[in-house]
Amino acid sequence: MLVKVVQSDINLGDKKVNLRKAIKLIKKSRADLFLFPEVFTTGMDLEHVKEHAESLNGETIKKLKEHSRKKIIAGSLMEEYRGRIYNTLVLLEDKQLRGFYRKIHLFQKENEYFTAGDMVEVVETKHGRMGLSICYDLRFPELYRKQTDEGAGVLMVCANFPRKRIEHWRTLLKARAIENQAYVVGCNRTGSDGINEYNGKSMVIDPWGEVLAEAGQEEQTLEVEVDPGEVERIRRDFPVLEDRKLGVRETL
């Protein structure tokens, strides 16, 4: 499976420009899977979330579906559902919305604008089962262990992770890969939204914890071949997950 990580700058609040830019890239690439940053069509334009939010039957999803024939497209959007607004990572494949994940862990001020999701999501695709997560989620390893227990071999993280905490991003991505023996595909934005500066450092990491590719600080795409069979091999040859001791309290 050829994975394309799209580390892009985002024009704050300009949905048409950002979506057009994404679709242009999808159309000219032979990749099987595209991962875009968190809220890649709007950026963190929090003061206008009600204007930007759409349903999962809205125009943005419809346009992305048109370009998802024989492809997987993933990235988060501002979603409106029953009067509430969520930061939602969508996954489209073969012109269908295969699954979506509403961000569970909201970071500080986000709580004023978004409703937290409450469901861990693993999506079945033709390239295997994939776990979905967004930015701040990365700090909560139990989410990824749950996805692994549900059969995920690829863990996807889309983000707006700021420059001042970028080493946390790099370290946590590698940790999630090593502890779950899974591929981790992390897509961060670059540029500025007037509040935070972003410097990318998107990464693809294999189930052994080796960094297969890492982006720099500017707009960039990564193309990496990912072999889902490698997950099975590593978990079989080094069966760490089988040695967990659940529910055991240590005595000091």
Whether the CB-CB separation of 87 and 102 falls below 8 Å is answered with yes
List, in order, residues 6 or more apart from 172 with CB less than 8 Å away: 138, 139
Q: Which residue out of 79, 135, 187, 201 is catalytically annotated?
A: 135
Percent of the chain past pLDDT 90, that is, above it, reads 96
Give the confidence band of 143 by pLDDT, cuts at 50, 70, 90: very high
Architecture in CATH for domain 2-242: 4-Layer Sandwich (3.60)
At 99, list the tokens.
Answer: 């699954």
What is the average pLDDT value for the chain, to the nearest integer? Answer: 96
153-168: pLDDT as tens digits: 999 999 999 999 999 9
Segment 69-83 mean pLDDT: 97
Work out the burial of residue 102: count CB atoms within 10 Å of its CB; fewer than 13 is exposed, 13-18 middle, 19 or more buried: buried
Q: Which residue out of 79, 103, 158, 201 is catalytically annotated?
A: 103
Segment 57-86 mean pLDDT: 97
Does 135 qualify as catalytic in the annotation?
yes
Q: φ, ψ for residue 28 (rounded to 5)?
A: -100, 5
Residue type, 189: R
Q: Is the dihedral of CA 39, 44, 48, 49 positive or negative?
A: positive
Task: Supply angle C-alpha 185, 187, 189, rounded to 5.
Answer: 170
Give the confidence band of 80 by pLDDT, cuts at 50, 70, 90: very high
* Residue 185 reports pLDDT greater than 50: yes
pLDDT of residue 76: 98
Give the confidence band of 249 by pLDDT, cuts at 50, 70, 90: low
Measure CA 79 to chain center: 16
Q: Which residue out of 4, 15, 21, 38 is catalytically annotated?
A: 38
pLDDT of residue 252: 46
192-231: pLDDT as tens digits: 999 999 999 999 999 999 999 999 999 999 999 999 899 9
Does 242 qualify as catalytic in the annotation?
no
Does 142 qualify as catalytic in the annotation?
no
Domain segments of the chain as ranges: 2-242
113-139: pLDDT as tens digits: 999 999 999 999 999 999 999 999 999
As a whole number of angstroms, the distance between CA 21 and CA 94 comes to 20
pLDDT of residue 140: 98
At 41, list the tokens.
Answer: 């069509």
* Residue 178 reports pLDDT greater than 50: yes
Residue type, 226: V
